[in-house]
Structure 1
């Protein structure tokens, strides 16, 4: 659907007398034969000309030539051909110059496999032998490799991320350039590194990505331990799991702020680390109760990836959690006010202890989760 909408956008641009083509990852993935729903268009038309052609547009990056076109039912990014100025911040060009030539636009792109274009009819425009490199499963910088990485140092990690995703090798000159410029990764915003790592974690070959971080010495300038052997068995489709595993391998509190992790990522990783630590002694009923099943699964998987002995199967986790009499503390049949009334004394630290004991008694099936039975248990057993 996205492709069809994009084709209609290109057709309207052509009807207005301009050139427009598919570019970037969409073309690469089309040639590789894998799905891609992020379809981008490059054009000889200026942003103002695109806005004149279409009735519904949003300026999402107009200073760099990008306009979001909404006319065809799907949001389609359309970017004017451009050349880039100096990259003094190692991230973005200080200025861009809009041009009418596709050749000039393709020359500024990072890797040959990303520097191809495709017409609406499906003809491939390949000025840098990107198709040949794809066939050879090679990642090669466009033009002078060191210049590409000096422009945007994140491209070094992007090369490694593509290697992990596709199983491609990095061409020798490109690899050498990464090694010589590795320290420049320190100039890159941590949020951008975080986004690339998200893709490494869920890639087909994450251990290959970690190995390349070591081989290129990029790992020397990034926080954490990057040992490929630790990642040989790792595989996930959830980036949260990747951050949790990375944290378990490192367990440094500064790790979260350094990589600009979200609160969700931080909480999940710390819970997984706790559950993983407790797994070595064997999980108790309170562990099955307190930890979400995704946390338990991840902690279990980490133990397997690290070849640690586990006395039960992964399938038993769901079974044991499902067998709990209650799933949340809110389901406990009594409240603090009940216990205060039964004890006939003011609340205090003892109250929290009493409720915790009642919860454990219910979870271990010493008593039914019933208010009257819990009252009897409190008087006869807990209160003594």
Structure 2
């Protein structure tokens, strides 16, 4: 079988040709080959060769010894970087993650044998010919994920491959072969050897894909998340276990999550859909090594949800409006609109407000004249001067109250009017 090359592979052809001109074997390998077979865009190009790292360094002018101990050299060609790795076999793995040592070999088939799944164990020659000794093409045609060789050995070598399996199942809409899935569940406790940062990288790739709900489904039913190096809270583990026991409900809850554009919004939707408490969510985000900025974004959306649902009682429309606009002011317009987008995709009535309520909230948000303190026509210094009062916490309180009144349309955003309102509060406070 011969395949057409994408522009990214064409740009790397000079490297392959130079290696072959010097009597070395050289092939495109890895994800670039898999995605070429599937007709998908490729992100980067990896090359495998019979040349040793020293021989690669001698052949090319611009090289970076990025992984010299494992046989990898980064070759820079026309401002593009390509990883060139020597054919190799790997020894026993250290800590179920990295090989203790590598042995350079001269045969392509032996190099492909060390890879995780058959769809990643294909190689593409300079002339477009596909080398597929382990049946990766047929597995892709069958929409099947299958380990190269013995899946028990592959997962024991590198436990991260289990999370990669779940990601590939979701991203490429595959189903695992029986032997591969059975081995994954048998060895899932080995995930405790994997750094949490690596776990988050894989989970993020799942959530960024076109079908995050499928990857989420397999992540839950595999039970992998119960075996992290740093465990999730008892509540989070219980919630995940319950979700895994009620697959139809979980599928229904997250069936539209792919329509959310931002990854952090998808994560917030997962937290809301699983009905995680705020403490359990915070613990999960910390354990998984989310950055502070991402933690704040996700938690804020979930906080809006909890506050609005706690408030969802038989109150007047005006009270609902004031509560909502106070949320918009506190968390910001962007967070408020992100929560609304999550709500519109939640199918379960117990997890969302009615369409009419959501429309009211969106309309009130759109009608807000201002939503930030800096947009007020008065500042703290002017307020303190007008009231002849020393600065203190009261300034923030008064400014926030003024902002809410203006946002609700109950007060005009003019300095004189705002100062008079503050003076009225001051008089009333003294009378009390």
Of residues 284, 290, 305, the one that matches 2:346 is 305
1:145 matched to which residue of 2? 151
Aligned pair 1:173/2:179, yes or no? yes
Q: Residues of 1 paired with 2:292 and 2:40: CA distance?
A: 33
2:316 matched to which residue of 1? none
2:3 matched to which residue of 1? none
1:1-384 to structure 2, matched below 5 A, reads: 1-222=7-228, 223=232, 224=236, 225-226=239-240, 227=243, 228=247, 229=250, 230-235=253-258, 236-248=260-272, 249=274, 250-251=276-277, 252=280, 253-280=282-309, 281=312, 284-303=324-343, 304-305=345-346, 307=348, 308-312=352-356, 320-380=364-424, 383-384=427-428
Change in CA separation of 1:86 and 1:19 when aligned onto 2, cut-off 3 Å: same
Q: Deviations over 1:65-87 (max 9, x none)?
A: 22222122211111111111111
Q: Residues of 1 paired with 2:73 and 2:190: CA distance?
A: 31
Change in CA separation of 1:359 and 1:74 when aligned onto 2, cut-off 3 Å: same
Secondary structure (helix, strand or coil) at the match of 1:275 reads: helix
Q: Residues of 2 paired with 1:315 and 1:59: CA distance?
A: 57
Change in CA separation of 1:44 and 1:318 when aligned onto 2, cut-off 3 Å: farther
**Structure 1 unmatched ranges of 5 or more:** none
Contact 1:24 1:114 in 2 (8 A): yes
Q: Residues of 1 paired with 2:37 and 2:347: CA distance?
A: 37
Contact 2:213 2:255 in 1 (8 A): yes
When the two structures are superposed, what TM-score results if normalisation uses the length of structure 1? 0.92
Q: CA deviation at 1:183?
A: 1.1
Greater Cα shift, 17-26 or 372-381: 372-381
Q: Residues of 2 paired with 1:301 and 1:183: CA distance?
A: 37
Q: Residues of 2 paired with 1:9 and 1:130: CA distance?
A: 25
Contact 1:145 1:173 in 2 (8 A): yes
Q: Residues of 1 paired with 2:425 and 2:124: CA distance?
A: 77
Secondary structure (helix, strand or coil) at the match of 2:89 reads: strand
Q: Residues of 2 paired with 1:322 and 1:3: CA distance?
A: 48
Q: Residues of 2 paired with 1:247 and 1:268: CA distance?
A: 12
Greater Cα shift, 272-281 or 145-154: 272-281
Greater Cα shift, 137-146 or 308-317: 308-317
Change in CA separation of 1:50 and 1:271 when aligned onto 2, cut-off 3 Å: same
Contact 2:62 2:76 in 1 (8 A): yes
Q: CA deviation at 1:11?
A: 1.8
Secondary structure (helix, strand or coil) at the match of 1:75 reads: strand
Q: Residues of 1 paired with 2:20 and 2:385: CA distance?
A: 80
Q: CA deviation at 1:349?
A: 2.7
CA RMSD of aligned residues (A): 2.2
Q: CA deviation at 1:46?
A: 1.6
Greater Cα shift, 288-297 or 129-138: 288-297
Q: CA deviation at 1:318?
A: 6.4
Contact 1:8 1:72 in 2 (8 A): no
Secondary structure (helix, strand or coil) at the match of 1:358 reads: helix
Q: Residues of 1 paired with 2:424 and 2:214: CA distance?
A: 61
Contact 1:200 1:209 in 2 (8 A): yes
Contact 2:32 2:46 in 1 (8 A): yes
Contact 1:9 1:72 in 2 (8 A): no
Q: Residues of 2 paired with 1:73 and 1:358: CA distance?
A: 56
Q: Residues of 1 paired with 2:66 and 2:426: CA distance?
A: 64
Secondary structure (helix, strand or coil) at the match of 2:216 reads: helix
Contact 2:119 2:136 in 1 (8 A): yes
Q: Residues of 1 paired with 2:114 and 2:225: CA distance?
A: 27
Q: Residues of 2 paired with 1:302 and 1:338: CA distance?
A: 40
Contact 1:297 1:317 in 2 (8 A): no
Secondary structure (helix, strand or coil) at the match of 1:78 reads: strand
Secondary structure (helix, strand or coil) at the match of 2:106 reads: coil
